[in-house]
Amino acid sequence: RGGDLFAAEEGFWEPLRTGVSLSRAHVKWFKHNDMQDLRRLLTQIQAHDQKVKRPLNAQRRFLVVEGLYKQTGTIVPLKELVQLKHEFSYRLILDESNSFGCLGKTGRGVHELYDCPLMHDVEITTIALENGMGAIGGITVGSDEVVEHQRLSGSGYCFSASSPPFTATAAIQSLELLQTNKETTLQPLQDNVAYLHHKLTQLCHVTLEDVLLVTSAPESPILFLQVADIPETRDLDELLFLEEVVQECLMHGVTTSNNKKSTTSIPNEFSSMACVVESSPPGIRITVTASHTHEHLDHCLRIFSESVEVVLNRSQ
């Protein structure tokens, strides 16, 4: 709400940006997954509080991060973040929309992966159901006050309608499958992620001569590749190259996603200036699922390698 303070991560996805904008809170941004920059920001805020003699309980303050970043496939360093949260007395809002159903021993997400208990280390958890659950709607985990406020004041409740019975049933069934059939859901997914990450890293290093680098986390089902900063790529039109690789793959039946470099302008009601932050670096995203087989992944790797070679030869 207005008057609160968010220390927000620059790299999170559009729904979180919309929520931050609608909250009317004061927003301070820190660099993507950079805990040193976050410490700098929190120390700066603390010094200002001492200067103006603001009491510790005068303002509600939150850290806002994504568990698994859709734009980059990286995972938040939650242990370090939680340490800073406790040190500077902030609450933590963790969005598990892209990590729920794929990370952790039972698929509960990043907090389970790092063994950070909810309600103690993470006060508010949000989950969108359209990713891991294949449904519509969302989940909020928090205190009774937080959950009730979200249920009654969320934009989906105020400006839309309840989830249709079909999608609600689909979400329930997905949760049941995740709980009772890990051998056909979570385990194959995590095996495929490990397999593709290893093979793709090897492909980039050996076959593609490090022109592309896998920069996503090894546990992430969202694999992200960026053009390496080496002499061979200095004269390469990066955005055009990535777009042509994506199109070449598509022509051979393999769908990837071109993550174009973009910035987002966040309105600031407390100033005539808008805050402009980089929301995504340029790169190629590849998403793996539990239903893929190693044969599928090998075929995709072959098409991807051939597509990169074709585009590189074309640009020479």
**Least confident interval from 41-45, 63-67, 150-154, 256-260:** 150-154
Q: Is the pLDDT of residue 145 over 70?
A: yes
Q: Residue 273 class from Cβ within 10 Å (0-12 exposed, 13-18 middle, 19+ buried)?
A: exposed
Q: Residue 104, Cβ neighbours under 10 Å: how many? A: 21
CA nearest to 185, candidates 196, 197, 173, 195: 173
Contact of 266 with 20, CB cutoff 8 Å: yes
Q: Is the pLDDT of residue 268 over 60?
A: no
Tens of pLDDT along 171-210? 999 999 999 988 889 999 999 999 999 999 999 999 988 8
Structure tokens at 167: 């999608």
Taking the C-alpha atoms of residue 65 and residue 12, their distance in angstroms, rounded to an integer, is 7
Beta strand pairing call for 26-30 and 5-9: parallel
What mean pLDDT comes out for the span 204-219? 93
Q: Is the pLDDT of residue 14 over 90?
A: no
Taking the C-alpha atoms of residue 81 and residue 33, their distance in angstroms, rounded to an integer, is 9
Q: How would residue 137 be classed by pLDDT, with cut points 50, 70 and 90?
A: confident
Taking the C-alpha atoms of residue 296 and residue 129, their distance in angstroms, rounded to an integer, is 26
